[in-house]
Amino acid sequence: MSNKILCAALSAMLFALCSSAEAQQPNKVARIGFLIAASRSAISARTEAFQQGLRELGYVDGKNIVIEWRSAEGKLDHLPTVAAELVRLKVDVIVTTGSSVTRAAKEATVTIPIVMVQDNDPVGNGFVASLARPGGNITGLSTLRPEISGKQVDLLKETVPRLSRVAVLGSSTTPGTAQALKETELAAGGVKLQNLDVLGPKDIETAFRAAGKERADAVLVLSASVLNSHRTEIAKLAAKSRLPAIYPFPEYVEAGGLMAYGPSVTDLFRRAATYVDKILKGTKPADLPVEQPTKFEFIINLKSAKQIGLTIPPNVLVRADRVIK
């Protein structure tokens, strides 16, 4: 009888050990597709913020997750090809970095979850039904805050002496531009606005010539893929024209632009990791509301100010989150 009891006890112990071993088996290594329009090096601060967000949640690339980096290297017509490649790899989630990238991913799959990091108008672009209820396989973060352009006008007023005319560079094909222009007009007050539509790279230099012809005192650049992709050229043309300019993202200032005010994009990339985590744990994209920016940055390049002979007032300078000297 005692032998039977001993055998039963040993069997129970072995069963418990096997169950424990099964429970401790590492979970399937998740594969994350990361789709970029530009080169990865061009947005290194943003991708590092994303990886930092993952590390804070316990994920490490190459250990318990694998990130498949894919870039169109600035050639937007290549996006469908690289998006399709990620779908063939059967990644668990695709992270996208901008409207054109999200659209390529959306056209490539209706089943793989997509986390967009910085879309200027997710509803207008047709990616989600609403911010509160996305409704499909896409969710993430939006940069949509139309009042930002009004704040940019206010900063120009405080920075540029006797400001009377501002050239506004935007793209009518970019959703959110019309609303941003309305906010700009509301903030303009007595300042006249010259709206210049940039539909392609060839329009950039034409826009600056038009601004010079109308004797613009400053330039305000709205967010648009065609403008963001040619930020270095825009910063150089602004300096050549000796026009103070304000931009939507820090990269413009790092490329030689005067100042930038807008959402902290690195914060958005860090927060995108939270969406990836929730999706990997089983939450459906349709059930994850799209979030808007909560952190903003104001950056000034004093070297650029000196180059065009502009002195930044102390009351403006003191409000900068970062100053490039």
Q: Of the candidates 238, 182, 173, which has an alpha carbon nearest to the alpha carbon of residue 212? A: 238
pLDDT digits (tens, 9 = 90+) for 91-116: 999 999 988 899 999 999 999 999 99
Helices (H), the chain: 2-24, 44-56, 79-88, 99-108, 147-159, 177-188, 202-213, 225-228, 231-240, 250-254, 265-280, 302-307, 314-317
Which bin fits 207, alpha (ψ -120 to 50), beta or left (φ > 0)? alpha
Are both 251 and 303 inside the same structural domain?
yes
Domains held by the chain: number: 2
Are both 72 and 106 inside the same structural domain?
yes
Are both 53 and 94 inside the same structural domain?
yes
Domain enclosing residue 194, as ranges = 147-263+297-324
The H or E element spanning position 245 is strand 245-247
pLDDT digits (tens, 9 = 90+) for 252-274: 999 999 999 999 999 999 999 99
Q: Quick check: is 45 in a domain?
A: yes
Digits of tens for pLDDT over the chain (325 positions)? Answer: 455 554 555 455 555 444 444 433 446 799 999 999 888 887 888 999 999 999 999 999 999 999 999 998 878 889 999 999 999 999 999 999 988 899 999 999 999 999 999 888 899 889 999 999 999 999 999 987 767 888 999 999 999 999 999 999 999 887 778 778 888 888 888 899 999 999 989 999 999 999 999 999 999 999 887 888 899 999 999 999 999 999 999 989 999 999 999 999 999 999 999 999 999 999 999 999 999 999 999 999 999 999 999 999 999 999 999 999 9
Are both 283 and 253 inside the same structural domain?
no
**Predicted TM-score (pTM) of this structure:** 0.80
Q: Quick check: is 51 in a domain?
A: yes
Q: Of the candidates 218, 252, 247, 248, which has an alpha carbon nearest to the alpha carbon of residue 233? A: 252
Are both 217 and 284 inside the same structural domain?
no
Are both 311 and 171 inside the same structural domain?
yes
Q: Quick check: is 17 in a domain?
A: no
3-state SS class at 116:
strand
Are both 170 and 244 inside the same structural domain?
yes
CATH number of the domain that 215 lies in? Answer: 3.40.50.2300
Are both 185 and 221 inside the same structural domain?
yes
Are both 164 and 70 inside the same structural domain?
no
Are both 207 and 77 inside the same structural domain?
no
Are both 115 and 207 inside the same structural domain?
no
Bridge pairing between strands 296-301 and 322-324? parallel
Q: Quick check: is 2 in a domain?
A: no
Are both 188 and 301 inside the same structural domain?
yes
